[in-house]
Structure 1
């Protein structure tokens, strides 16, 4: 499952590390080619809830394999795309398969783990995210700079074949949701705590994606002499630390983790805003940002899963939708900032949105982010 998440995240974020090469090849601006991230997110937004709603009763393992095969096809076609328009269409399709996998992966992990270890199981299943950020995306960015961006996407396709074989051989199956426990989409949203978590997801992840999607032009504008691939590597290594901390504490300290992580985003943005030309401060800010982000997905999925109970798959599809609306917003709004006000405006937007997320976590003390919660199954 962690390797499946690795494929998804690497596919999603790879254009962020390849923006200069993509822009040069397709002869467009950084903001325009950044829409490769935006349309991917849009595909996830469109597909996540409908696909999970239609497949709630299906066995989980076949769905995971189907989703991974979709990524195999999409990344192969991206590597061969002759124009930006075709690449955008294929990225939209890849995003749709992302919606399917992310909508069911967290619930799948919870079903094959003991209830008291649900948070730790999520942390392990989500470990592919920081590994992709620390190793996958920087390696893809490096490969793109050496032999061309198309080989980066081709490499992801080869890795996807390996992961499909491993899933078939190693991952146990799990049943879908029983028909007598399925709530309508509207009733799932109204479950206490679910809407609050979704609000935190959107604000927090929008803060993240504004800067992450346009890290290359931001670093270039700051003039600190830090290459995007190196910055992404440092971010990803820090994210590994974040997922380890989250996996250790999440089953007993979810609220404190969420408060600390959203606050760390504010501090990281403030450091970048106050010391934009300092290389040491930039590295510290990126490390703090990475640690805070590393456990974010696990924390949010644990929170919404605890609140939703048996409706965890649909709730996670909604979380995936909110998450990818934030990615969509990061690509679109970030393009306006980068092409308009300039990349130096990104840390300020990061601070403001992270503050909204922090306040929402504070106010969600009853159902969304309580200090203690009995795991719902």
Structure 2
């Protein structure tokens, strides 16, 4: 992936008023948002149809549950190598290749009658995700003037809460009505629609010029990149520990039947968060990141201290969503700003650490559940958020600066 500055950030600079008067390329950004939706839903949808998949393929539910894990492993293992290997590819061609891989992987999953083949399909989907996620935020930035780049990324990132709050329940309903294979064939159809949409609306950009550097070590040496990556690892780990086991935690509180409602509250609050971040990120990235970290920490403390009240649990879920929803936009913008000419390599590392943290969150959450019980989840989140806050607050010159350059 190119680590040179996007062409439009090297062009004659505009002042903020001129840039604000330029409209965002909404159709192209919505194509990218739909690509985000497809990648996120492809990752999480097995959770909604797990019993049917395990019964049909003749394996236990715990074994079938690893279809989510292997997806994350595929992303974590290949995001950086593929970013380096495809650095010279033109950007639109590369994104179309990733979406075609999604269509292939979901088709294989839908038609497979063997557990091994299904897991291979899921691994390929994870590989495609690593490739796509290393491109999406950068593509959004390139299509927008500098003051609107954060808003452009926020539009693209709406695909995440839509997938989690609406896509997974809809996929579960579709699976119950027509079978789990129809769900994955529907995902194939969505990927094909995205391919056509990208072809029609996205501008193309060249890859890395000959001699351009894409060294990971070089990106790590850029001031500000390491703090953002550290925050990404712990923030995503903290979120995943609780999110992956939210049903178990609510069962612990006697609210097992309210899981759907709690997740809906979380999802709606996440979308509000994305809107707020998109509107303010250009001038308030640091303040918004601090605020998001505080909101998640307060939500965790609320879940731990006020769990006797069902109403307050829902309020804590809303605070959690308000804190978390804009985090992908904030962190991808921060690492893009910090990375400079090494932005694409830094973005690939962020994608890798994001998926490492997701996979680790499932493992850590399982250990906590077995060793300390579900009541330990909110306190674990709170403990992890302390170093996140410390790094965000102290990285005031690089990483999360007072003023964006």
- TM-score over 0.5 (shorter chain): yes
Of 241, 252, 256, which aligns to 1:221? 252
CA-CA distance at 1:251 after TM superposition? 0.3
- Pairing 1:196–2:227 present: yes
CA distance in 2, matches of 1:141, 1:210: 22
Cα distance change on mapping 1:78 and 1:215 into 2, 3 Å:
farther
**Which position in structure 1 is the counterpart of 2:344?**
313
1:319-338 Cα deviation digits (max 9, x unpaired): 00010011110122223233
**Which position in structure 2 is the counterpart of 1:28?**
60
CA distance in 2, matches of 1:337, 1:86: 32
Cα distance change on mapping 1:321 and 1:27 into 2, 3 Å:
same
CA distance in 1, matches of 2:226, 2:276: 26
C-alpha RMSD over aligned residues:
2.2
- Deviating more after overlay: 318-327 vs 149-158: 149-158
SS at match of 1:179: coil
Q: Structure 1 regions of 5+ residues with no counterpart?
A: none
1:65-97 Cα deviation digits (max 9, x unpaired): 111111112222223444555443322221111
Q: Structure 2 regions of 5+ residues with no counterpart?
A: 1-31
- Pairing 1:182–2:213 present: yes
Q: How does 1:285-324 map to 2 (within 5 A)?
A: 285-324=316-355
- Pairing 1:114–2:148 present: no
**Which position in structure 2 is the counterpart of 1:326?**
357
Cα distance change on mapping 1:37 and 1:285 into 2, 3 Å:
farther
CA-CA distance at 1:129 after TM superposition? 1.6
- Pairing 1:352–2:383 present: yes
**Which position in structure 2 is the counterpart of 1:154?**
185
SS at match of 2:144: coil
CA-CA distance at 1:59 after TM superposition? 1.0
CA contact (8 A) 2:48 2:168 kept: yes
**Which position in structure 2 is the counterpart of 1:59?**
90
CA distance in 1, matches of 2:314, 2:287: 25
- Deviating more after overlay: 176-185 vs 264-273: 176-185
1:339-362 Cα deviation digits (max 9, x unpaired): 444333222222211222112211
Give the paired residue count.
373
**Which position in structure 2 is the counterpart of 1:337?**
368
Larger Cα Rg: Structure 1 or Structure 2?
Answer: 2
CA-CA distance at 1:16 after TM superposition? 4.0
CA distance in 2, matches of 1:237, 1:107: 26
**Which position in structure 1 is the counterpart of 2:397?**
366
Cα distance change on mapping 1:197 and 1:66 into 2, 3 Å:
same
CA distance in 2, matches of 1:23, 1:279: 33
CA contact (8 A) 1:197 1:303 kept: yes
CA-CA distance at 1:29 after TM superposition? 5.4
**Which position in structure 2 is the counterpart of 1:244?**
275
**Which position in structure 1 is the counterpart of 2:154?**
123
Of 253, 256, 267, which aligns to 2:287? 256
TM-score, normalised to structure 1, is 0.91
TM-score, normalised to structure 2, is 0.85
CA distance in 2, matches of 1:27, 1:72: 25
CA distance in 2, matches of 1:338, 1:28: 20
CA distance in 2, matches of 1:315, 1:89: 28
Of 87, 95, 109, which aligns to 1:78? 109
1:197-246 Cα deviation digits (max 9, x unpaired): 00000000011111222233333333214444433332221111011010
CA distance in 2, matches of 1:300, 1:281: 29
- Deviating more after overlay: 132-141 vs 52-61: 132-141
CA distance in 1, matches of 2:261, 2:61: 22
Of 171, 196, 201, which aligns to 1:165? 196
Of 264, 272, 282, which aligns to 1:233? 264
CA contact (8 A) 1:71 1:97 kept: yes
CA-CA distance at 1:148 after TM superposition? 4.2
